Amino acid sequence: MRWTKLIYLASPYSAKKRSTIHKRFDAAVRACLHLWEQGYLVYGPIFYTHPISACLPHVPRDAWMELDLRLLEKCDELWVLCIPGWKKSVGVRTEIHWAKKFGKPVRYLKLDQLPECGWDDLVQAVRKWVNGPIPESQKDCLY
């Protein structure tokens, strides 16, 4: 498979309830998996940094935004995951603003366009991977 574009996936994150944050994280994981399967290289702050932010709650929001905007500038396009809260999200609005300023196309992705999979499926896949054999294609990377 030839990887095509580098996509920055924006989606809302912050919420008053942790259960809402986790639902947003789960939706971002679904979108990430779907886009990778479609041949895109994908970065999204939610699915890459959620576990880190859960362990490092003292890292200020502006540090995360600094990281995100630096990576957004490197990406080819911004895709917005249209889940509840995306229009009100300060982070998503900031990412859209900067994408346009950087001259990046902005596309919108609806949750109903994604296959039914998410965090629980990812956890199961990782468990299977940990307990399975190393694929032949990766053995030349071992030292």
- Contact call for residues 112 and 104 (beta carbons, < 8 A): no
pLDDT over 90 (residue 12): yes
| pLDDT score at 134 | 67
Higher pLDDT, 129 or 65: 65
Of all residues in the chain, the percent with pLDDT exceeding 90 is 45
| pLDDT score at 105 | 98
Higher pLDDT, 54 or 63: 63
pLDDT over 70 (residue 112): yes
Strand, helix or coil at 60? coil
Q: In sequence order, what are the beta bridge partners of 77? A: 7
Helix axis angle, 61-74 to 90-101, nearest 10°: 30
Residue among 104, 35, 39 nearest 69 (CA)? 104
| pLDDT score at 135 | 67
The tokens for 141 are: 């990377």
Higher pLDDT, 51 or 130: 51
| pLDDT score at 100 | 98
- Contact call for residues 63 and 49 (beta carbons, < 8 A): no
pLDDT over 80 (residue 128): no
> What average pLDDT is seen over the chain?
85
Give the start-end residues of each E strand in the chain: 6-10, 41-43, 77-82, 106-110
Higher pLDDT, 117 or 9: 9
pLDDT over 70 (residue 140): no
